[in-house]
Amino acid sequence: MRMFERTTFVALMMGATAAIAPASAFEGTPVNPENTAIPVASSQPGTAPVLKKAIPTEAATTSLTALQYAAEGGHPIAQWRLGRMYADGNGVVQDDLRAFDYFSKIANAHAEDSPSAPQAAIVANAFVALGRYYLDGIPNSKIKRDTERAREMFSYAASYFGNADAQYDLARLYIDGIGMPRDFRYGARWLGLAAQKGQHQAQAMLGQLLFNGEKLPRQAARGLMWLTLARDSAAPDEAWIKDSYNRAFAKASDDDRAMALQMLEHWVQGRRD
């Protein structure tokens, strides 16, 4: 396994609160933490079960074989696709340990790739997937729950690659106090970064915090704006987002609603520009 050694994160990896940004950071002010690469644990040799599920068509079999061949050759896109297939049980027997192994190969081989490299998004997503596995562990395997390791994975993808999903997941750790003391302002800062990139779950959570004034200065109109954006992007099974929007809209004053609409128009126009 490839191991990387650089300097440790400033503030992020140490959980320092001295670098917490002011309220303006909730708007999505960029951060530039010190870059670092981290070693990624992979499943032990021989632990991944052999592929057993029969693929119904010859074309599907050929496609899977081609993916496996490319993955063995170190192709990150093939490794990512196979990782997702095993994680989701899409066309193969669902196998989290095997998925973990594919994601680990990507992270170990490409952690130091440039954030502007063509495969950067895949590498960042691999770190996010690994972080989520570490957050819960994989039952009946050597991959145990490790919240510190999860935080490292999210921190790296969030800061080095600027991945919005990682920024959201990292924010949840701070806000929920998972593996660390709760820090609403630092969590809100990461939510702001992710929300500006269109991560709708981050938009919803940031909107809740700002509208309700939960541990943050209350900004009802801005909170309603973020909740509106989140509602428009929410998946059918994300009822919590729509419920949050409905509650906020019902409580908002006419002035808050008018100002939120104006903010929304400016935000959408900025995205178009």
Reported as a single tens digit per residue, the pLDDT across 170-207 is 999 999 999 888 988 889 999 999 999 999 999 999 99
**Rounded distance, CA 97 to CA 95, Å?**
6
Contact 131, 124 (CB under 8 A): no
Collapse the DSSP code of 105 into the 3-class scheme (helix H, G, I; strand E, B; otherwise coil) and give the result.
helix
Contact 241, 200 (CB under 8 A): yes
**Rounded distance, CA 245 to CA 249, Å?**
6
Give the position of tokens 């004053």. 253
At 148-176, the pLDDT tens digits run 999 999 999 999 999 999 999 999 999 99
**Rounded distance, CA 155 to CA 183, Å?**
15
- pLDDT over 70 (residue 39): no
The sign of the torsion formed by the CA atoms of 256, 258, 263, 268 equals positive
What average pLDDT score do residues 22-46 get? 38
Residue 55's CB is within 10 A of a number of other CB atoms, namely 15
What average pLDDT score do residues 30-52 get? 39
Collapse the DSSP code of 69 into the 3-class scheme (helix H, G, I; strand E, B; otherwise coil) and give the result.
helix
Host H or E run for residue 196: helix 184-196
How confident is the model at residue 64, as a pLDDT? 81
Q: 270-273 — which CB contacts under 8 Å span 24+ positions? A: 271/198
pTM for this structure? 0.77
| Band of pLDDT at residue 66, cut at 50, 70 and 90 | confident
Contact 136, 124 (CB under 8 A): no
